[in-house]
Each structure stands twice: as C-alpha cells, then as structure tokens.
Chains A and B, each alone.
Chain A
Amino acid sequence: EIVLTQSPGTLSLSPGERATLSCRASQSVRNSYLAWYQQKPGQAPRLLIYGASTRATGIPDRFSGAGSGTDFILTISRLEPEDFAVYYCQSYADSRTFGPGTKVEIK
C-alpha cells in the first residue's frame, strides 16, 4: 500500500504570498492518480486537483498541481484569506490513502 508523506506539517505565510506544499509517495503513483483536497474547520474536504494537475470545477486558477512518479506539488500562487486551511493529498491508483496533511496558517 502506498504511504503518502506531506511537508511541511505547517506553513506560516501572509496573504498574498506563495504557498508550496509537497506530497511524496512511498512508491510510484500509477498514471499520476493523485488528488488534493482542502479542508476548513468544521467542513468536509473539498476536491481541488485530480490527476496531479487538473483543477476541479470552480477551483480558482491560483491553485495548481504538478508532479509525477513519487513527488507532487500543490502551489497556491497568491494566498487569499479563504485559503488558510489544511490540505491533504490522496493517491487513488491502487489504494485510497490520504496523506497526513499540511496546515497553511496565517503568519
């Protein structure tokens, strides 16, 4: 089973700054079947990115995903106040594993 590691655990940034979140898999993720979700307190996760780089419907273009194999990146080009949340990656190739999450907090 694929194990996902996310770094950093917490990212402290100011609105307007760029956020770069990493997700590393213990083995290659087949066909880049890697998704990213955003979760705010008291809410369900929300799909941001699938297929490593395709934005879900309604997701602003300041969110972008990249990567393949074992290394994936989620970038938020300019943080808006509503972007401060926890972000999870998930491999959906041969398992449904979630990573432990990266919290993006206001500095």
Chain B
Amino acid sequence: EVQVLESGGGLAQPGGSLRLSCVASGLEFSSYAMSWVRQAPGKGPEWVSAITGDGGDTFSADSVKGRFTIFRDNSKKTLYLQMNSLRAEDTAVYYCAKGSAASRPYFFDSWGQGALVTVSS
C-alpha cells in the first residue's frame, strides 16, 4: 500500500521560512512525479509545485514562483518544499500528492494527511 506522510508544518512569521517534508513508502519512488497541493481554509485545492520522478524538472504555480522550491531525494524516498518569503495568503494545509506517472500528464492517486502552515505575526 502506498503511503505518503508530511511533516514540518507550523507557525511562521510573514517573510519567514519553513521546510516541509514528505516520506513515501510502498512504491518505487523515483518512478513517480510528486506534487505539493495546498488548501486554504474553506477553499478548494490549489496545486503549488511539482517535480518529475527523476527530479530533473520542476514546476511551480505563479503564486509561489521564486519563493518556494520543490526538490526530492529518491534515495530517501522523500519530497521537500522549501518555503521562503512567506505571506499570510500562504496559510493553508499542504498536501503531498503522488502522481500517477513519472512525468505529465498525471493525476494524483495518493495523498498525505496534510501539514498545516500558518503565516502570522
């Protein structure tokens, strides 16, 4: 059974930084693209960033481009999201989502339980 588990959420001040981690199990990790998807309170999901299975290509939504960096360590089956210059509007539950393939097109067939990130002074 595929499982993904996020960690690293918490409270950050505006302009601050946080790093999220996501450990995967039950799969050949490098064979699948991975993404971060966030959901602000009372809102629908918003895709944030994605990375191909081999880590060679990354993609980010305009709302986080230049501030957030997605990367992975396939030897540790771990996905990361480095979040810098945080803003209040980044407050959300951040989900780690497994893609159905190594590169696009893919849908999200496994999700973690989510990590809450709160940006507030």
A residues sitting closer than 8 Å to B (CB atoms) are 31, 33, 35, 37, 39, 43-47, 50, 56, 88, 90, 92-93, 96-101
B residues sitting closer than 8 Å to A (CB atoms) are 35, 37, 44-47, 50, 95, 100, 104-114
Q: Could you say which residues of chain B place their CB within 8 Å of the CB of A92?
A: 104-107
Contact between chains at A44 and B111 (CB < 8 Å)? yes
Contact between chains at A96 and B44 (CB < 8 Å)? no
Contact between chains at A44 and B112 (CB < 8 Å)? yes
Contact between chains at A47 and B108 (CB < 8 Å)? yes
Main secondary structure of the interface of A (DSSP, over half): loop
Q: Could you say which residues of chain A place their CB within 8 Å of the CB of B106?
A: 92
Q: A31, A45, A47, A93: which contacts B45 (Cβ < 8 A)?
A: A45
Contact between chains at B45 and A50 (CB < 8 Å)? no
Q: Could you say which residues of chain A place their CB within 8 Å of the CB of B45?
A: 37, 39, 45, 88, 90, 98
CB A93 to nearest CB in B, in angstroms, measures 6
CB B104 to nearest CB in A, in angstroms, measures 7
Q: A33, A44, A47, A98: which contacts B44 (Cβ < 8 A)?
A: A98
CB A33 to nearest CB in B, in angstroms, measures 5
In the bound complex, what is the Cα–Cα distance between A37 and B111 (angstroms)?
11
